[in-house]
A and B are shown apart, each in its own frame.
Chain A
Amino acid sequence: MSGIAPGPGRWRPAAGLLWRSFDDELVVYDDRSGDTHRLTPRSAAVFLALQPRDPMIETGTLDAEVIDGLARLGLVEPE
């Protein structure tokens, strides 16, 4: 999913993900790529904030650098 330019707007978790929380870290499995990612507490917090159980929120309120990293991993995508 490289090539997605981070920027203002709405973001959502990519489809086909499974994840599990371990303390304040997260392990995410991407069923499309088969990759498994370990998210630091900082990234995990942003990833969880984007989950559907929360209303879609402006990414401007979240850590743009983290959103960029998650987008490059294919774990979030623009709405």
Chain B
Amino acid sequence: MILSSIPGGEVARRLRGDGLSLRLGPFTAAIRSPIASVAEGIAALYADNETLEEPGFRDFHLSVDASGGLRRWVRRQCRFDFDGASPFKPLPVAHALPILEWGLNWCIASNAHRYLIIHAAAIERGGRVAILPGEPGAGKSTLCAGLVGSGGWRLLSDELSLIDMATGRFIPLARPISLKKESIEIIRGFVPDAVLSRETHDTTKGRVALVKATADSVRRAGETAAAGWIIFPRFVPGAPPILERQSKAAAFIELATNAFNYSIHGKRGFTVVADVVETCECYRFTYCSLDDAVQVFASLALTR
């Protein structure tokens, strides 16, 4: 069953009760929360995801609960729990939806070691993946949202790129894209039909909003893809689009540095990263305008 076929009231009821189970790429998660903004956000952002109606194994059991005691009345807080433990300190209840998303990222990055997990966006076109690693503020998520929303690329992941350790192929994990500050307005303008969550203010990352993954990206969650490009984006106000070749050895080091569990995999991790880099063209991409970026990436896609 697809989540959008379940009435909103029922989604909220399940979240308040035994939990709502969703398929998220290769993972399953049971989510509980009595908080209205979480129910509203999940119903909107995961509308195209499959729900699991039968009891059974779930990879992750998550909850975002409102704190008790005095915090029920004064500066209400919420707490993220994973398998009964609270890995993070409580935060304002208004942050509940992004906390759920960031908490889920943390669960995957900390536990899903059957994959090599790279802190990077990954998008696909023509069967090839463009891997977009980037430090916070580099414009990775904005570029990803623009290319997926208006550039003809499929979203594999915004934050956590999963590489199958056995095949070296990229595993789709199409979840909401997290935007910060001005990027929210940029994407509202560039992708008018994008579905965005309500904005959350004053988080540790500033003002944030989440963009729903496209229906096509969610529907094709079973289609893995091979690496094609490694592109390090950098948003520079006023800059013309510049695509510069990057040394593969340098790209290797940056990719490995951005991998959450490279060291856990040891020699095998090295070999998987090396195989990915070997098959990729590597670039640095400076951009300001998403229109320019769409053109540059379209030209790139024609080269493979």
Contacts and interface: CB of A to CB of B under 8 A. Distances in A.
A25 B253 CA distance: 12
Interface string A10-29: 00000000101011011101
Given A29-B267, A36-B270, A23 B253 contact: no
Given A22-B278, A26-B249, 8 more contacts: A20-B252, A20-B277, A22-B249, A25-B249, A31-B266, A38-B249, A38-B253, A39-B249
B278 A27 contact: no
Contacts of B262: 36
Given A18-B270, A18-B271, A20-B274, A34 B263 contact: yes
Given A22-B247, A23-B247, A31 B252 contact: no
B76 interface: no
Interface of A: 18, 20, 22-23, 25-27, 29, 31, 34, 36, 38-39
Contacts of A20: 252, 270, 274, 277-278
B207 interface: no
Contacts of B277: 20, 22
Interface residues of B, number: 16
Nearest to A29: B270
Contact of A27 (B253, B263, B266, B267): B253
Contacts of B267: 18, 29, 31
12 contacts: A18-B267, A20-B278, A22-B277, A22-B278, A29-B267, A29-B270, A31-B266, A34-B263, A36-B253, A36-B256, A36-B262, A39-B249
B74 interface: no
A42 B248 CA distance: 16
B70 interface: no
Nearest to A21: B249
B302 interface: no
Nearest to B251: A22
B85 interface: no
B166 interface: no
Interface string B275-290: 0011000000000000
Contacts of B274: 20, 27
Contacts of B250: 25, 38
A70 to B, nearest CB: 16
Contacts of B249: 22-23, 25-27, 38-39
Nearest to A22: B248
